[in-house]
């Protein structure tokens, strides 16, 4: 085997391995599940302070507001029947994480006028 061929094969192997490793590291750091959107950091010390389900066939977009006397540190928005219906888009349109008030706006993922699946919103506050 010619030395140039070995060097080329080695370089190609290194490049492919680095691309594969980069893809795995990125998927560990971010939530790529379209059925679940998270804001803040989950912690075992937090307590559930808001739990609401937006039912299928409700109008999209819709906003949910919550005001409490303790800071809201984590919000989880979950599409209850992912897959065929896809996920939901969620964004904070008022207030903020680690503040006592927050407004979450939900939009159907396919930009439709109604939600195709039930969507559950959970907010966790400081104990």
pLDDT tens for 65-116 read: 999 999 999 999 998 876 666 678 899 999 999 999 999 999 987 767 888 8
pLDDT at 118 over 50: yes
By mean pLDDT, which of 11-20, 37-46, 52-61 is the weakest?
Answer: 11-20
34 or 73: which carries more pLDDT confidence?
A: 73
**Bridge partners of 77?**
37, 121
CA–CA distance, 71 with 47 (Å, rounded to integer): 11
Positions of E strands within the chain:
36-40, 47-54, 62-79, 88-95, 99-108, 119-125
CA–CA distance, 27 with 31 (Å, rounded to integer): 7
pTM, two decimal places:
0.71
Give the distance from CA 11 to its chain's centroid. 37
């Amino acid at each position: 085997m010619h030395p140039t061929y070995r060097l080329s094969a080695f370089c190609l192997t290194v490049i492919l391995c680095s691309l594969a490793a980069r893809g795995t590291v990125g998927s560990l750091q971010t939530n790529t599940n379209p059925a679940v959107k998270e804001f803040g950091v989950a912690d075992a010390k937090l307590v559930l302070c808001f739990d609401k389900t937006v039912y299928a066939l409700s109008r999209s977009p819709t906003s949910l507001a919550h005001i409490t006397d303790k800071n809201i540190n984590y919000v989880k928005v979950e599409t209850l029947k992912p897959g065929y219906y896809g996920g939901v888009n969620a964004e904070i349109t008022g207030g903020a994480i680690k503040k006592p008030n927050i407004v979450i706006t939900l939009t159907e993922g396919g930009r439709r006028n109604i939600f195709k699946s039930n969507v559950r919103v959970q907010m966790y506050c400081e104990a």
